[in-house]
Amino acid sequence: MSQLAGKKILILATHGFEQSELEVPHAELKKAGATVEIVSPEAGEIKGWKHKDWGLPVKVDRRLDEVKAEDYDAIVLPGGQMNPDTLRGNDKALALIKDFYDGGKVVAAVCHGPWLLIDTGIAKGRKLTSWPTVRQDLVNAGAQWEDREVVTDKGVITSRKPDDLKAFVAKIVEEVREGRHQRQAA
């Protein structure tokens, strides 16, 4: 049986997401048996960013205003500079992330994605990691920043960069499979 059979995971992104930070979790979480949906404020397609230029588009499965945290087991927040910076200006996106957190569900962010943990208030008092240039923002928000490939603190999973994606996805699978996020809701 698949490790994540019956589990549902939402990837929240918009234009400018780091290509690998959306595609790798999407593919690997599906391989693990989860239903994975790409959700965006925009319908249709969103375009990624690959290194120093635009990447490939991906199909949006559902619009942001069509989803509720209660219908999923985890949310994944890819990085790239543009993607999380745009989403942090979207009140509906921030509310959805906060709903996942408040509901005791797994919240996973990579690279610049932890910016969204600042704007939702989730970063304060947490052990987190991120892309190095996001470090000071996290520290200023009250987080304890660690330079490790993956850091988990009470259902919040963070990683630094595309090179960390294998460990990042493995930790998401572990946390969702073990139901550790359910203990958070208490």
What residues act catalytically?
Answer: 112
At 44, give phi and psi (nearest 5°).
90, -105
Task: Please count the other Cβ atoms lying within 10 Å of the Cβ belonging to residue 100.
Answer: 28
Q: Residue 175: enclosing H or E segment and its boundaries?
A: helix 165-178
**Structure token pair of residue 26:** 């999407």
Beta strands in the chain (DSSP E): 8-12, 17-18, 35-40, 45-50, 53-59, 62-63, 74-77, 106-110, 127-128, 144-145, 150-153, 156-159
**Structure token pair of residue 90:** 């979207």
Task: Say how far apart CA 57 and CA 49 lie, in whole Å.
Answer: 9
**Structure token pair of residue 144:** 């304890």
Question: What is the torsional sign of CA 25, 30, 36, 39?
Answer: positive
